Amino acid sequence: MTSAATTPLLDVQGVGKRFGGVQALSDVGLRIQAGQVHGLIGPNGAGKTTFFNTITGLVPSDTGRFALAGRAYQPTAVHQVAQAGIARTFQNIRLFADMNALDNVRVGRHVRTQVPWWQAVLRTKAFLHEELQIERDARALLDFVGLGDKALQTARTLSYGDQRRLEIARALATEPKLLALDEPAAGMNATEKGALRELIERIRQQGRSVLLIEHDVKLVMGLCDHVTVLDQGRVIASGTPAEVQRDPAVIAAYLGTGAHA
């Protein structure tokens, strides 16, 4: 038995996934400690997004054991994963493009609503009270990610960087224990990346853990407590940023010398 103090927040082991002739993941595992930022890096096609998809219920894995905060969970449906406490953003931004920023965040908040559906139909006092609370929470989240003045702007008209921050706000609306970000800095300029780094630090300070897929080495090395490196569907290294940076298998994978094979 492991004690509560040492139980990882996320403990995923033995994940395998094949797409036709492609073995996208082979025996992939990682453990994320509570309150830590954990990087998942690797060359294009390494299997990073597929791993996210398996832990969040978007794609069924062939094998794997999944536990969050010491409790086994089955990533069979996206809303169950959200209720278990995992939220994510997407490499290709997925927002309700024609809805405004505020409504996009409100949608995320509904995962945590309490009032039964029939009260919504009858528009009871409890329902209206909850709706007001949801709006207040959503506005607070937009402030938190730096979009407070863009609440009523249609999502598709926001800049790329703002859309990525809106996705983070929507994910945070589900009150996740673990926030999984798939290349959040893609398409951002240096100033936006600086703001993103500071935002992830604040999310960590709230006691949440973050799993971060990112190609920007500076961002990964500056932010992460621990880094797992994937190459061709396998974990080739796992350790502190300094450890993985000098690991010969990692260097070989990135230089494409094949020396790690």
Ligand X SMILES: Nc1ncnc2c1ncn2[C@@H]1O[C@H](COP(=O)(O)OP(=O)(O)OP(=O)(O)O)[C@@H](O)[C@H]1O
User: Which positions touch ligand X (CB under 6 A)?
Assistant: 19, 22, 24, 42, 44-50, 91
List strands edge to edge, sheet with 234-239. Answer: 86-88, 178-182, 209-213, 37-41, 226-231, 234-239
- From the list Mg ion, ligand X, none, partner contacted by residue 36 (C-beta under 5 to 8 A by kind): none
- From the list ligand X, Mg ion, none, partner contacted by residue 75 (C-beta under 5 to 8 A by kind): none
Angle at 94 between CA 43 and CA 23, to 5 degrees: 35
Our CB check for ligand X shows the closer of 52 and 66 to be: 52
Which residues are within 8 A (CB) of 198 and not within 5 positions of it... i.e. 6 or more apart?
none
Contact present, 184 and 211 (Cβ < 8 Å): no
Contact present, 168 and 181 (Cβ < 8 Å): yes
Our CB check for ligand X shows the closer of 139 and 215 to be: 215
CB of 48 to Mg ion, least distance (A): 5
Q: How many CB atoms are located within 10 Å of the residue 166 CB?
A: 26
CB of 40 to ligand X, least distance (A): 9
CB of 233 to ligand X, least distance (A): 7
CB of 52 to Mg ion, least distance (A): 8
Q: Which two tokens stand for residue 62?
A: 């062939």
Given the structure tokens 């490196």, which residue do they identify? 229
CB of 23 to Mg ion, least distance (A): 16
Q: Tell me the C-alpha distance between 34 and 141, whole Å.
A: 22
Q: How many CB atoms are located within 10 Å of the residue 35 CB?
A: 15
- From the list Mg ion, ligand X, none, partner contacted by residue 170 (C-beta under 5 to 8 A by kind): none
Contact present, 232 and 249 (Cβ < 8 Å): no
- From the list Mg ion, ligand X, none, partner contacted by residue 50 (C-beta under 5 to 8 A by kind): ligand X
User: Which positions touch Mg ion (CB under 5 A)?
Assistant: 48-49, 91
CB of 20 to Mg ion, least distance (A): 18
Q: How many CB atoms are located within 10 Å of the residue 99 CB?
A: 15
Our CB check for ligand X shows the closer of 19 and 96 to be: 19
Note the Cα 126 to chain centre separation in Å: 32
Our CB check for ligand X shows the closer of 140 and 160 to be: 160
Our CB check for ligand X shows the closer of 90 and 127 to be: 90
Our CB check for ligand X shows the closer of 16 and 45 to be: 45
CA dihedral for 123, 124, 125, 129, sign (positive or negative): negative
- From the list ligand X, Mg ion, none, partner contacted by residue 24 (C-beta under 5 to 8 A by kind): ligand X
Our CB check for ligand X shows the closer of 32 and 46 to be: 46
- From the list ligand X, Mg ion, none, partner contacted by residue 22 (C-beta under 5 to 8 A by kind): ligand X
CB of 129 to ligand X, least distance (A): 42
